Structure 1
Amino acid sequence: MTAGVGRRARTIEEIGQNLMALQAVEPVNYRAYEPQAGDVFITSWAKSGTTMMQQMFHQLRMGAATGKGDMDFDDISRMTPWEDVALQNDFDMTVEQRASPRGFKSHREYERLPAGMRYVVTLRDPHQTYASFHRFFEGYLFEPGSISLDESMPLWLMGGPGGCDYYTHLLSWWARRDEPDTLLASYRWVVKNRPAMIRMLADFMGIELTGELAALVEDMTSREFMYAHKDKFNHQMICDSMTARLGITDFESTKVHDVGSDAKVVPPAIVEQIDAMWAERVTPVTGHRNFAELAAELGR
């Protein structure tokens, strides 16, 4: 018996109904996360490079442990478990991982994550995240063409499952940019400087980076490689839950595209709202008038 509206949503309200139904689950396999020294949380905000960093992290540790990459999975979030939706997916967060260090996905701010761990965060321009949000969720959470970019602000403000709003996340991690337990970079910088990010992440993980391992991970984190294997990065576990509980079977979206999202598609009225929230919440704290200024100071 299906719950929610019995199909993909056609309004913001129906998205809420489906998400509530999706979360109403009696767990069978679920076990809560149990912290261990050395754990790494990949905790970028939604649509800000989380998937690329999960892939980079997993291939670095697998290449170091086995001498080769690993694509033997149906969902990258089975390799780096996603704590925010583990209960919804009836997933055991204590499952043994294939290599060390252990890695976990989240979209949370620092204050709602276990303290004393290590954290990898990529930040992205808010306008780009808005465009990417709509692009991904159309054909996934809602019917194509049913919710316009002008109507998507409530969805964007919600953030990813279990996460927080964009500005709370950004300010939380900006405050920790110089902490040794936090590796912070902008998504745009990572895309343009993958070899440098691979070196930084390997050092952060305590992995000796050989030339062979660097070349392997660089190849397996390219847009071309990830797009060719896009089914591995499309929330298969969530899709399975949506099929079982909501009756949705035809998913017409993908997280990894052959071309990146374009912020130019964001309507001017939405741009104004995003910029007004930045001016109200970010500028008084960091002094930056926009994301470009913040990323320039970060330097990566």
Structure 2
Amino acid sequence: MPLERSLEQGSSEAVKRVKQRLSGFETEAGRRKGLGFQPNAGDVFIVTTPKAGTTWMQQICHQLRSRGSMDFEEISAVVPWIELAHDLGQDLEEPQVAQPRCFKTHCWYDHCPKGGKYIVVVRDPADVALSFYKFFEDWFFEPGEVGLEEFVREFWLARGVPESEMQNASYFHHLISWWQHVGRDDVLWVFFEDMKQDLRSVVQRVAAFMGIPDADDALIDKVVEHSSFEFMKAHEAQFDEHLSKLRRNAACGLPPDAGMRHGKINRGESGAAKKTLPAEVLADIHAKWKQVVAPVVGCDTYAAFRDKVHAQQQQQQQQQQA
């Protein structure tokens, strides 16, 4: 039973081809093995929907625990992706190169292994949709094969509640599944936009959450430098997902070099989607937010939701200091 085993009614032929290719990306045995992983209490999970700052947070966490080491082939070799690890020949039970152990996942709360610590990174949904399209372009589809509006509406917005462990939740259902656990001591909520605006403060929060010893100014400075766009772009081959592409392209029916011509590191401008996506598509994304997210979080927009979480975090910090 592949990850995207159902082809929704109404999808274009081009989007159906993308879904069919994606269906080979994970094996059922590999995904179920990852979801069945039993973490230790100190293990740290980086929890995101795709294109919400996953690789960026992987780098931050690894730089903190390794005190700035760049001695790795690709970031997912040292911070494994639990859903794909088995298919890449990685053993999640093995000790990692530094402590605490860190893992990446796109699971919504219901499917995520329980018992560790969770850094949940969220990003404006329109920017996520645009970034997802750019990420898949020239990997799962050729430039021009699938239109941007077509992709957002028929692929990204078409997702909903998973019918089984083999499916990922939509952006919107993923968010509300983790929102219901905000404020817990083992859950750290981080906004992509905050990483853009004040990376140092985010790194400090992550260091405290992970329990990094001796996280002095020198270490924080190094991690901020190594997690900057300029540094990661200069080391792009260590963040380009080439391990999964080399191992899984054939299973997806893709050429061996598919997706290898472009890296993942982009400047990630916040608000770029509002300048790029048609107004009608932005309206569809907003409508999906109001339908799925707003009734649960009590906020009609992502911006209002971010403000609400910031206020809660500030209140929680004040209570801890009192």
In structure 1, the partner of 2:92 is 93
CA RMSD of aligned residues (A): 2.2
CA deviations over 1:191-233 (Å, ceiling 9, x no partner): 2111111111111111131111011101000011111111211
- CA distance 1:23–1:108, shift in 2 (3 Å): closer
Uncovered stretches (5+) of structure 2, i.e. residues with no partner: 1-12, 161-165, 314-322
The answer to whether the 8 Å contact 2:118/2:186 transfers is yes
What's the offset of the Cα at 1:16?
A: 2.1
In structure 1, the partner of 2:276 is 265
Residue 69 of structure 2 aligns with an amino acid whose one-letter code is D
Residue 50 of structure 1 aligns with an amino acid whose one-letter code is T
CA distance in 2, matches of 1:35, 1:174: 21
Aligned partner of 2:230 among 215, 224, 237: 224
Equivalenced residues, count: 283
Alignment of 1:1-300 (within 5 A): 11-24=14-27, 33-63=37-67, 69-153=68-152, 154-157=154-157, 158=159, 163-207=168-212, 208-245=214-251, 246=253, 247-251=255-259, 252-258=261-267, 260=269, 262-263=272-273, 264-299=275-310
CA distance in 1, matches of 2:263, 2:167: 20
What's the offset of the Cα at 1:74?
A: 2.3
What's the offset of the Cα at 1:127?
A: 0.5
CA distance in 2, matches of 1:283, 1:229: 39
Residue 57 of structure 2 aligns with an amino acid whose one-letter code is M
- CA distance 1:25–1:186, shift in 2 (3 Å): closer
In structure 2, the partner of 1:5 is none
The answer to whether the 8 Å contact 1:84/1:162 transfers is no
What's the offset of the Cα at 1:37?
A: 2.2
Residue 20 of structure 1 aligns with an amino acid whose one-letter code is S
- CA distance 1:172–1:23, shift in 2 (3 Å): closer
Residue 177 of structure 2 aligns with an amino acid whose one-letter code is S
CA distance in 2, matches of 1:162, 1:193: 34
What's the offset of the Cα at 1:190?
A: 1.7
- CA distance 1:260–1:140, shift in 2 (3 Å): farther
**TM-score for the superposition, normalised by structure 1:** 0.87
In structure 2, the partner of 1:6 is none
**TM-score for the superposition, normalised by structure 2:** 0.81
- CA distance 1:95–1:116, shift in 2 (3 Å): closer
CA distance in 1, matches of 2:290, 2:249: 41
The answer to whether the 8 Å contact 2:120/2:178 transfers is yes
- CA distance 1:25–1:41, shift in 2 (3 Å): closer
Residue 62 of structure 1 aligns with an amino acid whose one-letter code is S
The answer to whether the 8 Å contact 2:48/2:106 transfers is yes
- CA distance 1:21–1:176, shift in 2 (3 Å): closer
What's the offset of the Cα at 1:298?
A: 1.4
In structure 2, the partner of 1:7 is none
- CA distance 1:169–1:230, shift in 2 (3 Å): same
The answer to whether the 8 Å contact 1:44/1:106 transfers is yes
In structure 2, the partner of 1:66 is none
**Structure 1, 150-159 or 265-274: larger mean CA deviation:** 150-159
The answer to whether the 8 Å contact 2:38/2:115 transfers is no
SS of the residue corresponding to residue 188 of structure 1 reads: helix
Residue 198 of structure 2 aligns with an amino acid whose one-letter code is N
- CA distance 1:12–1:88, shift in 2 (3 Å): farther
CA distance in 2, matches of 1:88, 1:13: 24
What's the offset of the Cα at 1:54?
A: 0.5
Residue 169 of structure 2 aligns with an amino acid whose one-letter code is C
What's the offset of the Cα at 1:234?
A: 1.4
Percent identity for Structure 1 against Structure 2: 34
The answer to whether the 8 Å contact 1:61/1:99 transfers is yes
The answer to whether the 8 Å contact 1:25/1:88 transfers is no
The one of the two structures with greater contact order (alpha-carbon pairs below 8 A, sep at least 6) is 1
